[in-house]
Structure formats: structure tokens, C-alpha cells
Homo-oligomer: A and B are copies of this chain.
């Protein structure tokens, strides 16, 4: 394409509203423009990248046996009521009414629609297994849309749904998609990890993995072992279980030992308490009150640890868990936030392994301005509900092999999920099996945030000086830059090379604009073509400067430059 024909308005300054590198560069390069908070327009340059990513995804999905279809964004609320999600989805679900006042939602995902279709289309085992997918705009009314395409409210997603006769079938479909995702992200040039994630309310059946791009801007923490293959997200990552954590399940009511009440006026936080009492945080028992599906529950972790809501939910097979309000804490414990403790508490108490393993500790007294010293787990409070209720910390032991765990920041690119019969049961999606019995379809779902992938790639491909897209998704493969189009020799050599590249099936961008060289190079740094051909004074003798992905430049004859470009493109695309 000729750059004079490309609407690519570049900005010299870093837009002040953009925190993430990818967001800054995509605004500066004229890839995207914000239409509303979290809602973007893709300019011609940006759309080229997006379409390339789509194309990689489509090729791999088709090759793995997926069938593409297209479902509507506007979905009848009835389907969401049928699945039970209409009431629980919360404020992220955009709801609307039509002119007849019927309720609809803007789809954040399509389990309901696909299930309503498949229960009509598939009645027999003979049509199974099948995996259907689409690439389509999704809607989530994020509380805090940010980082450009990384957390948007309207975004492009590839979502796929598999239907199998049984769990063995689902295992195979899931594995197939898992491997397809690995191929997709590898082809997109991403540095990523597949990590175990939590399946939420679906529980044990619901195996799920997230694919995370490693990047500092990432909002998720990827936990991985420095030695073995273990990797999980923070919600899911298992703590190593201390050896002496059990055997105290019954509460011994022998209170001869000295629990000491200490006055701690207005001393609430772990930090305040350690400095007030001159103790280590490991000596404290932190008591957090959660509302779990409407019930108050206490969770105990060591003072130096963070509680993990996902693990709490999972232990209780709950849908929702959130920290109780200050008022609810007061009502449940008799004291304000900061003074809760397990002794005498009339709630279900979940005790983290590490707390259970403590000889004694310091806990809140359930009284204003007071704590208790010498509190002994299993002696002064019950450790009936014992488990892993905390976040792991960097450097602690891998639950598999014991080597130190590492932390990285990650951007969620996609996920694969064994849904099982969650939707089939709720929406009565059955098939007739070979034995003549009606059985629920066994489902899996598989998502990739297409527009987010674009931002994640950018995050990993921006250096101090320039953005270099991987060849597979680059808007243009090679940028041909005559230093001055007023120089006839430069201009005609540039035109000649452009013509030859087109003929060779390459995707060149020719900067045919009458601009200063500095402007052209700055724009080229933003346009992100992996290869560059600079045509300057050497044009007179048919020589050009060729720049590879690594930024190294060499002088070549025009013919060599074309040949080298072809080779570099072929090498990059064929892995």
C-alpha cells in the first residue's frame, strides 16, 4: 500500500490518558481511537493487525475441526433467565429493552445462545462431537475500563463451544483446543504460559486453564515453578501444606492455659499491631469476615498472608464471596473491623493450614480496642474447617516439587473450560445416545480475547525506540522508505522495489509522501513493519539499506534486498 493513501495520523506526544505502553503506542501510531471509555474504533492500520490475528485464529480453529458460525450480539433475556445467569451476572451485563419493552442483553459470552441452538440442531449421538466457534464483538460494562484494548467494554472475541457425548469426549475436545491455543499464541509471537485456573461453582468437574501473556502491565499474577511444569494463576495456585497441620479437629475446652487480654486502643491493622506489640506478623492470626452466598464466614490466615476469596468460595462450593461490610463485621463479631478473632465466635471459621499449625498466636478479642495473646488453634477455637485459604507468596515451595515458586505479571489471552452439563442441565439440551437414552450434552467453552491479544503482542514488541510486530500479524511486512521522494533516483528505485514486492506476493508499505526523513522514520517506528528498506543516496548506484527485525542494517543491491525480504518473510511465517 502507498502511505499517501493510508489514513494514519500519528501523534508526537504520549497521550496523557494512556498508562499501558501498548495503549500509548497504538494511539500514537493511529491504530485505534477512543469513541467512549473502553470503546474503540480501529483505524485502517489497526484493523490490519486485528484481521491478521483473526486469520491466524481462524486457520488454527478450522484445522482443528472447528466450524465457524456467527451469533447475534443482542440476546433475549429469557435465555439468560433459563440458564440462571440473568440475576447473578451483575452490573457488567448490559441490559436493554426493545420497543415492545421485551428484555435483551448485549452478549458478554454466548453459552446460552449456542445451547439454545444446539438443543434444536443436535438430537442424536451421530452428530457428535462438534465444536462451533465465532469471532464477534462482546460487551462487558467494566467498572474501570482501562489500558486501551486490554480492558475494554466492547471488544472482539473468539468464542468456541464443544459438545460431546461423554466426559472422555470432552477431555479430548478440551485437549484439542488447549493445543490449538498453544499453536495460535505461538504463531502470534507471544511469550505466554498456560496456567491452571479455578473453575468456580462448577467445581471438581470444571477443569480450566488460562493462557497468560507475560507482561508487566498485566493485571493477573502468574505463579510458576522454577523447576517443574507447575503453573497456575494466583486465585488457583496451591500452597504447600505444612506437615503439622492436622490432628486438632476437636476443640479442647481446657482453658487452664493463659489467654491474655491486651488493650490495643485503635490498633487495627497487622502493621499497627506488629509495631505496637513489637512482634512479627507471623505471630498474628488475621481474622477476616466474608459474606459467602449471604452467610457470614470467618477466614483465618497468618498475619503475613493474604486470604484468597476464590479458595474460600471453592471450599464452600459458593457462587459469591466478598468481604463483609464494616457494619456486618460489627454485628457478627461485636467489635469493629480490626478486632475480630476466632475465640468464641459464633460463625463458621475457615482455618488456613498455616494457622492450624501455629502453637499459639495473637488474635482479635471481638471487643473494641482489644486483642488476645496466647490463642491456641484447636484449643481455644475449633479447627474443624481446615484448608488452603491464602495466596501463595513468591519464593515459597512449589506444591508439586518443592522448588521455589516464581511470580510474573500476566495478561489473560484466553481460557479453556470444561463446562460439563451446567448449561445442558439448566436449558435441557439433550441428545439421544446409541443406547436409546436421552442424555445431556457435555460442553466445553473456549475463549480468546482477539483485541486483547493485539494489545498483548504490542506490550511484548515495543522497545525503547520502536514497535516491531511479529511477521504473522504485522500490518505490513516491509516498509519501503525513500529518504527524499524529490530525488528522482530514490523515487524510481522505491517504486521499482515496491512493484517487485507486490508481484512477489509480499505486503509492502511505500512511504511515497513528501515529508522530511525524520518524520518518515518516526512514523515507521510506529507503523511497526518488521523489515525496512531505506533508499537514500545509494540509490544512484542501485544500493539500499536493509533493516531486519533486530534493527541491524546492511547495505544491499536492490535485487538482493528483494530476495532477502522474501526469505525473511518466509522464514518468519513458516516458523
Contact = CB atoms under 8 A, between A and B. Distances in A.
B39 A72 contact: yes
Given A35-B72, A154-B72, A154-B73, A98 B94 contact: yes
Interface in A73-131: 73-76, 91-92, 94-96, 98-99, 104, 106, 113, 116-117, 120-122, 127, 130
B44 A113 contact: no
A393 B70 CA distance: 43
A6 interface: yes
A7 interface: yes
B41 A69 contact: yes
A91 B96 contact: no
Given A7-B130, A36-B104, A41 B74 contact: no
A68 interface: yes
Interface in A368-412: none
A47 B69 contact: yes
A44 B69 contact: yes
B7 A121 contact: yes
Contacts of A46: 69
A121 B30 contact: yes
A88 to B, nearest CB: 16
Nearest to A1: B67
A133 B458 CA distance: 25
Given A42-B69, A99-B143, A9 B76 contact: no
Contacts of A121: 7, 9, 30, 33, 43
A253 interface: no
Contact of A41 (B41, B117, B143): B117
Contacts of A92: 99
A549 interface: no
A141 B50 contact: no
A327 B292 CA distance: 61
Nearest to A8: B121
A137 interface: yes
A40 interface: yes
A153 interface: yes
Interface string A28-70: 0010010110011111101100100000000000000101111
Nearest to A65: B5
Interface residues of A, number: 52
A40 B72 contact: yes
Interface in A163-210: none
Contacts of A217: none
A132 interface: yes
Contacts of A39: 72, 74, 76
B99 A141 contact: yes
Contact of A44 (B67, B104, B106, B137): B67
Contact of A35 (B65, B116, B130, B132): B116
Interface in A128-165: 130, 132, 137, 139, 141, 143, 153-154
Nearest to A77: B36
Contacts of A68: 44, 47
A118 B139 CA distance: 25
B117 A74 contact: no
A71 interface: yes
Contacts of A35: 71-72, 75-76, 113, 116-117
B69 A43 contact: yes
Nearest to A48: B68
A143 to B, nearest CB: 7
A94 B96 contact: yes
Nearest to A75: B35
A143 B100 CA distance: 9
A5 B7 CA distance: 42
Given A94-B96, A99-B141, A50 B70 contact: yes
Contacts of A99: 91-92, 141, 143
Nearest to A62: B1
Contact of A132 (B7, B94, B132): B7
Contacts of A73: 73, 137, 154
The 9 closest A-B pairs by CB, nearest first: A42-B70, A96-B96, A44-B67, A9-B121, A41-B71, A36-B76, A91-B99, A39-B72, A72-B154
12 contacts: A9-B121, A33-B117, A35-B71, A35-B113, A36-B74, A36-B76, A40-B72, A41-B72, A72-B154, A73-B154, A74-B153, A137-B137
Given A50-B70, A96-B96, 13 more contacts: A5-B67, A7-B121, A35-B76, A35-B116, A39-B74, A41-B70, A41-B117, A43-B69, A47-B69, A47-B70, A74-B106, A96-B106, A98-B141
